[in-house]
Structures are given as C-alpha cells and as structure tokens.
Amino acid sequence: MRESSNMNGLLSLHKELTQYASPAKAALLARFFKTGKGEYAEGDAFLGVVVPDVRRIAKHYRDLPLQEVSQLLNSGWHEERMTALFILIDQYQRGSVKKQNAIYSLYIKNTEYINNWDLIDLTAGHIVGAHIANGHAKEATLFKFAQSKSLWERRIAMLATFYCTKNGDARLALAIAELLVHDTHDLIHKAVGWMLREVGKRCSLKEEEGFLDKYAATMPRTMLRYAIERFEPKKREYYMRMKTKQTI
C-alpha cells in the first residue's frame, strides 16, 4: 500500500505540472538553458512550466515524504527537479535539526541532479548555506565543492555563501571566491562576480574593494564586470583600467 501511495502522489504532482506545461515555453527554455549537444546542460528536458507555477505546485505538495521528494529530485524533467528543491527548502525551514540534517545530506548527495544554474541559485543558500552557517555542517564541504571537477558543485559552493553574506558576514564568500577567481567557466565567472557585488552591497564595500585590488587585473573580465556593476562610473573605470593594463 505504501508503494502505491507514493506512486499516486508523484503521478498526481506530475499531472498537475503538465497542466501548466507549454511546448512553446519548453522549446524556449531548452535554448535559454543551453541543452544542446556539447552545451553545459546537454540533454536536460523541460515541460515548459514557469517558476511561479512551479512554486505553487510545490506548496501543494509541501508535506510529501522525503523518500518521494528524493525520487522527484532524480526526475529527467527540469521542473520536477525544481519542484523537489522548493519542497526541500520548505521542509528544511519548518523542520527539526534532525530533519534538516536529512535534507542537507540529500542535497549534497544529489548534486548531479541539481544541474543547472537556476536550480542552484534558487536553493543552495537556503539549504547548504543555512546549514553551514547554523553550525550543523562543516565549511569544508564548500571548499571541497569549490575544487570539484563538477561545474555545478563549484557553483553551489559559491552560491551557498549568499546566506552568510545576506546576514552581514563576507568571510566565507571571499574565501570561496578566492578559490574560484581564475576558474575557466563563464557560469562561475558570473557567480563569483555576483557574490562579490553582494559582499559590497550587504557587508562591506571595503572588503569587496580589497578583493578587487588584489585580483581585478587577473580575474576574468565577465567576473570583474559583474562585481563592479553597482560602482560609480569613476570607480568602475579605475578597476577596468587595471584589467586593461594586464591584458596589454
């Protein structure tokens, strides 16, 4: 009976998602998220459901048993994996420390399915970052991920630090950024630059500028542009000149 109940719950969720599906949106999302041969999300499949609808459906199934959420996270459909992650965030925020430990462990062990930047950006801070910041997991996980061969684990490492940054602590963000500052992938360039910008915005402009003074000349141009986006024109020009001088 238990197995039948599980299957019915997941089938019901899938049916509800497909009611919001759009083939036209699916095609657009597949191009936008680079699912073609040789691209970073090669083979990912979309139903064509927009994020607000995914959130609503996740709320309907917020009490889905963790075993079923795990099955959903292993789905071949992008929106089903996103639904699973939104459910995990909801359950994490309402759960006991024991439940939070289980959710954190599930997340860490299934990074191969958290395999696009939107899935990571919407969730890593809420689960991985929160668990580490609250003292229930070791920071070493992020340092390990930052040195992983997996693009997605490296992005998780950077985005997870956003939880601490939002709470005024830039230390972890700057440490992970230092490990990734010379990464070769554009998605990491954008992630690091974005998190550096958030350090300046939410923690200390002095700390961000200290990092840039050390690395602006050698970091990838996209990373630098993201990091200095909110600076006044003269300061942006100053840091871009550092990069220009290095490339001449």
pLDDT tens per residue, range 149-174: 999 999 999 999 999 999 999 999 99
Total domains, the chain: 1
Instruction: Evaluate whether 198 touches 230 at the Cβ level (below 8 Å).
Output: no
Asked whether residue 205 is domain-assigned, the answer is yes
Kindly provide the b/e burial profile for residues 106-144, where b requires at least 16 CB atoms within 10 angstroms of the residue's own CB.
bbbebbebbbbbebbbbbbbbbbbbbbbeeebebebbee
Percent of the chain whose pLDDT exceeds 90: 94
For 117-136, the three-class secondary structure string (H helix, E strand, C coil) is: HHHHHCCHHHHHHHHHHCCC
Asked whether residue 180 is domain-assigned, the answer is yes
Instruction: Evaluate whether 21 touches 47 at the Cβ level (below 8 Å).
Output: yes
The per-residue pLDDT for 7 is 56
Asked whether residue 20 is domain-assigned, the answer is no
Q: What are phi and psi of 40, to 5 degrees?
A: -65, -25
Q: What is the mean pLDDT of residues 89-99?
A: 98
| CATH of residue 167 | 1.25.40.290
Q: What is the mean pLDDT of residues 179-205?
A: 98
Asked whether residue 104 is domain-assigned, the answer is no
Least-confidence region, from 54-58, 113-117, 139-143, 239-243: 239-243
Q: What is the mean pLDDT of residues 208-229?
A: 97
Task: Give me the helix-helix angle, 2-19 and 66-73, nearest 10°.
Answer: 50
Predicted TM-score (pTM) of this structure: 0.94
The per-residue pLDDT for 158 is 99
Asked whether residue 125 is domain-assigned, the answer is no
| Full domain range(s) for residue 143 | 139-248
The per-residue pLDDT for 246 is 66
Asked whether residue 89 is domain-assigned, the answer is no
Instruction: Please say if the pLDDT value at position 2 is more than 70.
Output: no
Average per-residue pLDDT for the chain: 95
Asked whether residue 73 is domain-assigned, the answer is no
The per-residue pLDDT for 3 is 36
Asked whether residue 3 is domain-assigned, the answer is no
